[in-house]
Amino acid sequence: MTLQECLAKGELELKASPHPERARRDAEALLIHVLRRNRASMLAHRAEELQPDYIDRFNALLARRSAGEPMQYIFGEAEFYGLAFRVTPDVLIPRPETEHLVEKVIELTAPLPQPRIVDVGTGSGAIAIALAHCLPVAQITAIDISAAALAIAEENAERNKVGIRFLCSDLLDAVVGESFDMVVANPPYIAASERNSLTIEVRDHEPALALFAGEDGLSIYRRLVPAACAALAPGGYVALEIGYGQADAIQAFLDGSHFKNIEFTADLQGLPRVASARRS
C-alpha cells in the first residue's frame, strides 16, 4: 500500500467517525506521527510503498481515532499557553479558553512581590505550570484529588523546568491553616444531566472526575468558594473558570462568602468565563 492509498483509506474511515469534518487533516496527522516525517516530505513521497509494520501502526491509530479518542491522547501531547504538556486519559486536555483564567491570575498577582498561589484541581498541571513559567517568583502549590493526574502534572512540571509543590487532596483540605494570595481553579462544572449532550471525545474519553460536578454542575464551587475564603489572606483573590449559564450562581456563592470586587471576564465568544473576586 502506498502513502497515498493509506491516506485515502484513513480519510474514508474517519469520514464515518464522530468527527468527519476533520477526516483528511486527522488522517494526515496520524500518518505523519507514524512515519515521523514532516507533511511536505510525506506528500512529496505519496507514491512510496509503506512497510507492513507502519501500515499496522497506522491502522491501530485510525481505529482509536474512529472510536472518538482525542488526537491529544493518541499523541500523548497537548499545547497550553505556548507550553507542551504530556496528556493521558487520567487528565483533562487543557482547553484554550482556560488561558483567560491564567491571564486573570497574572493580572491580579503580578504586582505582588512573591505571590502564594494555589491551583485546585490541577489535572495536567496546565494552569500551575503556565503561572510558574510567567511568574517565576511566585510560590505555587497544585492540588488534585486524583493521584494519577498528579503524577502527570509532576512530570509536566519537570519537563517545563518549573518548581511547584504538588499535593493530593480533596479541594483545600491538605493546606488548612496555610495562607494564600490567590486561589485559582478550573474545577469540574458539568451537570450530570448534561452527560448525553457532550461530544463522544469528551464523554467517552476524558476523566469523569474532571468533568462532572453533581446534578447541577455546581457541587464543587459550592464547597470551594467558602474553602477558598478561609485559605486566603485578607485582600487575597479567587479566580475560577465557570461554565455556560453559571455566572449568577457563582455570584451568589461569592457574595455569600463575603467576597468583594466580584468580576466576570468574557471569553472570545463574549460569554462570562472567569469569575474573580477579592477577600474582604
Ligand X SMILES: C[S@@+](CC[C@H](N)C(=O)[O-])C[C@H]1O[C@@H](n2cnc3c(N)ncnc32)[C@H](O)[C@@H]1O
**Is residue 5 helix, strand or coil?**
helix
Rank residues 69 and 144 by Cβ distance to ligand X and give the closer one. 144
Among 162, 209, 254, 275, binds ligand X (CB under 6 A): 209
Among 146, 156, 246, 257, binds ligand X (CB under 6 A): 146
Check residue 94 for interaction with ligand X (CB under 6 A): yes
CA torsion, points 238, 243, 247, 252, in degrees to nearest 10? -60
Report the C-alpha gap between 50 and 231 in whole angstroms.
58
Check residue 117 for interaction with ligand X (CB under 6 A): no
Q: Dig out the grid coordinates for 57 from the structure.
A: 501502526
Check residue 126 for interaction with ligand X (CB under 6 A): yes
Residue 239, phi then psi, degrees to nearest 5: -135, 125
The CB density around residue 139, as the number of other CB atoms within 10 Å, is 16
Among 144, 156, 242, 274, binds ligand X (CB under 6 A): 144
Cα angle 184, 236, 255 (rounded to 5 degrees) comes to 80
How do 139-144 and 77-80 pair as beta strands?
unpaired
Among 122, 141, 156, 276, binds ligand X (CB under 6 A): 122
Q: Dig out the grid coordinates for 103 from the structure.
A: 491571564
Check residue 26 for interaction with ligand X (CB under 6 A): no
Report the C-alpha gap between 215 and 173 in whole angstroms.
23
Site string for ligand X, 162-201 (x = CB under 6 A): --------xx--------------xxx-------------
Cβ of residue 104: shortest distance to ligand X, in angstroms?
A: 13
| Non-local CB neighbours of 216 within 8 Å, separated by 6+ positions | 191, 249
Cβ of residue 123: shortest distance to ligand X, in angstroms?
A: 3
Number of chain positions touching ligand X (CB under 6 A): 23
Rank residues 72 and 186 by Cβ distance to ligand X and give the closer one. 186
Site of interaction with ligand X (CB under 6 A): 92, 94, 98, 120-124, 126-127, 143-146, 149, 170-171, 186-188, 209-210, 220
